[in-house]
Chain A
Amino acid sequence: MATQVAAQANLFRRKARSKRVVLDWVMTGLTFASSIFAIVVLASILYYVFVNGIERFNWQTLTQLPPPPGDQVGGFGNAVLGTVIVVSIAISISFPIGLFAAIYLSEFGQNSSTASALRFVIKVLTGVPSIIAGVFAYGVLVLSTKTFSALAGGVALSVLTLPIIILSCEEALRLVPADTRAAAYALGASRVQTVFRVVLPAALPVILTGVTLAIARAAGETAPLIFTALFSFLWPDGLLKPIASLAVLIYNFAIVPFENQQKIAWGGALALVILALITTVSFRLLLSRRQETITI
């Protein structure tokens, strides 16, 4: 009797070194290794950006103009200011439009076929290469005004931030429970009152982090700016003139053979990476606190 039970128990046990068990270990190891690979690459980028960038990441660099080749000093003050200006233009175009579009999708369109068709097109819009946004702004603004300008750069970036803002705002609005809206309507609130007094205030924290994420994305974009905003070695001087930006400065200075310029480029990279770090981590933590499930 006892032996029979033991034999049965053996029947249901996998042999420790059977092909099936070994295959399991190998595959688990492979997926683990690919995760380690992602961590190593990220760590390598962060490490080298910090090590190479920290040397020139100081007040002097943040406030001075870029140096001419061969000079040992200088900074990227004008590029920081330029990035702030160009990104502000982009957000002040894309945020109002994006927020209203998101309100339509989540409050009025919802699951209608029109809304899902629009959502589909907007998702495809997120896949438009950043350089194409630059080409578009070049055609619309640079060719017609006959000058590279901060405005053209801002418009190019707004094409990229618009779909990001729409999708993240819609997600934020959808996190507000439907009961809240029902309660507002039951109290006799109009559509406008419900959206502006009830839904938007509840969704505001997530909306703002979404916009911050879009700002960080836009600040790091280079391709849409190199032939719209171009670059400038001077302080910003009006919206219809070429303007410096951190991203273009990194590109321009990384590919020249002067050590001082390369150091400044690394300093700029550090500034952009810090911005990306803070916004990404805070967005993910806020979102995972709001939702029980973790989604990428």
Chain B
Amino acid sequence: MNTLSSGGSLLFRPRPVFQRRRDQVFIWATRIAVFFSAFLLLWIALEIGIQSLPAIGRFGLSFFWNTTWDPVEGIYGAWPQIYGTLVTSLIALIVGVPFSFGISIFLSEDFLPKSLRLALIIVVELLAAIPSVVFGIWGLFVFIPFFRPVQMFLYENFNWLPIFSTPPVGPGMLTAGVVLGIMIIPIITAIAREVLVAVPPELRAAAYAMGATRWEAIFGVVLPAAIGGMLGAVVLGLGRALGETMAVAMLIGNARGIRVSLLAPASNIPALLANEFAEASDEQISALMYVALILLAITLLANIIAELMVRRVKFALTASRE
């Protein structure tokens, strides 16, 4: 009896101290890594915020509506760039959202056999993997010549509209916006499809049982359940469009000032940063940091809103299934 119990305690002897220590150190190391990664976001915001303090002090809020950006005179206002960022992103959404929703619905229904669906998913992912600068060079040498007749058509037939009032020169707000629209298709498609797939199949089956056609089921049942998450996907796409740099810097024309016509060269925040940072000095650096801070704030806001929207809808959908 005695020997048995002592043998048992040998068999189940407690973990050696060094193993327990090693485990604790390891867990702490992973904890530090993950907290560092999360605090990186704060560090980025602080770094850019601190560097832009001189410009914030000097120009204050007038930076937002001042339209002169003149490094020689030391006058900085970012309204043309902010305006350019908003307009190119808006064009991108108008172009990108219909296609993205179309593809995501197409992929979430059983139109295609599974293997073909996988092929189409790979196509969309490849579109996401093509580097921005490759979109830029493709835009310069392939898309601009292709898009020219469309721009001419708009100018010749609709030049009574202020937004089409100048003869097209190739690069410009519209060109950059349309290519930007193509570039945000993958991200919107991916998230929208995730939400659509999360809609419980019972809902669809119930709609079919009531005699609904496929699209009556989609419009009447599937989309109402998923629309919040799909709008979240759009906001996420907006976040990408706001910050996308290289293709826009190569296609927007990099002009100063504001022109109403979308066919005229313009500028936006990322393009301004890409063009001027390498040669900037002193106060210009601070002004550029201020612009970067504005961009960071807008994109963070878009991303946080989008993430919350998608999360809420996906949570509601999976909860209703259980």
Contacts and interface: CB of A to CB of B under 8 A. Distances in A.
B27 A108 contact: yes
Interface in B127-173: 127, 129-138, 140-142
Interface SS of B by simple majority: helix
Nearest to A272: B131
Given A35-B103, A247-B133, A192 B23 contact: yes
Interface stretch (A66-74, A119-127, A176-184): A119-127
A97 B129 contact: no
A227 interface: yes
A190 B22 contact: yes
Interface in B235-254: 236, 239-240, 242-246, 249-250
Contact of A109 (B15, B34, B182, B292): B34
A122 to B, nearest CB: 6
A286 interface: no
Nearest to A166: B37
Contacts of B26: 191-192, 195
A24 B214 CA distance: 7
A220 B10 CA distance: 58
Contacts of A130: 132, 243, 245
Given A136-B44, A162-B40, A42 B299 contact: no
Candidate in A12, A28, A127, A276 with the most chain B CB atoms within 10 angstroms: A127
A252 to B, nearest CB: 10
A104 B31 contact: yes
A84 to B, nearest CB: 16
Candidate in B22, B101, B133, B306 with the most chain A CB atoms within 10 angstroms: B133
A135 B277 contact: yes
Interface residues of A, number: 98
A226 to B, nearest CB: 6
Contact of A220 (B36, B131, B240, B278): B131
A204 interface: no
B122 A280 contact: yes
A215 B114 CA distance: 29
B47 A136 contact: yes
A14 B213 CA distance: 9
Given A190-B15, A192-B22, A223-B132, A134 B118 contact: no
Nearest to A247: B133
Contacts of B138: 44-45, 48-49, 269
A105 B30 CA distance: 9
Contact of B307 (A49, A96, A124, A262): A124
Interface in A95-128: 96-101, 103-105, 107-109, 118, 120-125, 127-128
Interface in B243-277: 243-246, 249-250, 270, 273-274, 277
Given A98-B37, A101-B33, A122-B38, A132 B214 contact: no
A216 B12 CA distance: 49
Contact of A105 (B34, B114, B140): B34
A59 interface: no
Interface in A214-250: 216-217, 219-223, 226-227, 230, 247, 250
Contacts of A258: none
B33 A100 contact: yes
A31 B106 CA distance: 6
Contacts of A57: none
B230 interface: no
Contacts of B31: 104, 108
A67 B133 CA distance: 20
Interface string B26-56: 1101111111111011011001100100000
Lowest 4 A-B CB distances belong to which pairs? Answer: A129-B243, A220-B131, A34-B102, A100-B33
11 contacts: A35-B107, A38-B99, A49-B134, A108-B31, A128-B299, A129-B242, A129-B295, A136-B43, A191-B27, A221-B132, A276-B126
Interface of B: 15, 19-20, 22-23, 26-27, 29-38, 40-41, 43-44, 47-48, 51, 98-103, 105-107, 109, 111, 114, 117-118, 120-127, 129-138, 140-142, 182, 185, 189-190, 193-194, 197, 211, 213-216, 218, 236, 239-240, 242-246, 249-250, 270, 273-274, 277-278, 285, 288-289, 292, 295-296, 299-300, 302-304, 306-307
